[in-house]
Amino acid sequence: MIAMQEELNQFERSEVWELVPRPQNQSVIGTRWVFRNKMDENGIIVRNKSRLVTQGFNQEGIDYEETFAPVARLETIRMLFVFACFKDFVLYQIDVKSAFLNGFINEEIYVEQPPGFQSFNFPNHVFKLKKELYGLKQAPRAWYERLSKFLLKKGFKMGKIDTTLFIKTKENGMLLVQIYVDDFIFGATNVSLCEEFSKCMHSKFEMSMIGELNFFLGL
């Protein structure tokens, strides 16, 4: 229950939606809770997570080109590990809290109130979305577009083979950032670049600083 309330509190801070009367000629997408345990490299549960997702399979009018978003290639991640070892610099990991909630929505979409958290005064009302929500078909694309535009404005260059890899070079070194949905791996030949990147991301998005990387995607 606490984890679910934390998720809804995040929605309020991000201004994800607004409660409105149920539309007459517009479909309303259902919502459901998804629960999972986050484990460390030793298989020990370190966090219980609750996530409210939409039943996106009920969406209409969204085609493949609109739903596609790039995903990091495992080969690229391994190459980053090798490069970090070769250059002898530390890799760090940060996590964007409810990453998809940062994607701006361009369509008019309504969703049902979360199970177990319906409004007492307006039980038949629905939420009109202002931001993307997990489960929507276009959510990954919207998040990636906003994030990539932000990084490019900050002087990063996008990888030509893997577009989830971003590189920034300065006179005092090189900073590499690898994106895997809402997880970031980053490291630099100069530690000041890492500190600069961390502050930059925290100023724009709500982040969880995990620290030095020691476990990622089973590696």
31: nearest Cα among 3, 12, 50: 50
What is the C-alpha to C-alpha distance for residues 37 and 167, in angstroms, rounded to an integer?
32
* pLDDT-based confidence at residue 46 (cuts at 50, 70, 90): low
Q: What is the pLDDT of residue 82?
A: 92
6: nearest Cα among 210, 208, 204, 212: 208
pLDDT at 65 exceeding the cut of 70: no
* pLDDT-based confidence at residue 59 (cuts at 50, 70, 90): low
pLDDT, mean of residues 191-202 = 90
pLDDT at 172 exceeding the cut of 50: yes
Tokens of 83: 């490069």
What is the C-alpha to C-alpha distance for residues 91 and 119, in angstroms, rounded to an integer?
45
- The amino acid that residue 114 corresponds to is P
Q: What is the pLDDT of residue 40?
A: 65
Give per-residue pLDDT as tens, 125-168: 999 998 888 888 778 888 888 899 999 999 999 988 889 999 99
Neighbour tally for 217: CB within 10 Å: 10
Give per-residue pLDDT as tens, 3-38: 788 888 888 888 889 999 999 888 899 999 988 777
Q: What is the pLDDT of residue 26?
A: 84
pLDDT, mean of residues 51-68 = 64
Q: What is the pLDDT of residue 64?
A: 46
- What ranges in 35-138 are assigned the alpha helix state H? 64-67, 74-87
Contacts of 139 (CB under 8 A, 6+ apart): 56, 100, 103, 132, 133
Q: What is the pLDDT of residue 128?
A: 93
Cβ-count burial of 17 within 10 angstroms (0-12 exposed, 13-18 middle, 19+ buried)?
buried
Percent of the chain exceeding pLDDT 90 equals 32
What is the C-alpha to C-alpha distance for residues 17 and 127, in angstroms, rounded to an integer?
6
Q: Is the pTM of this model over 0.75?
A: no
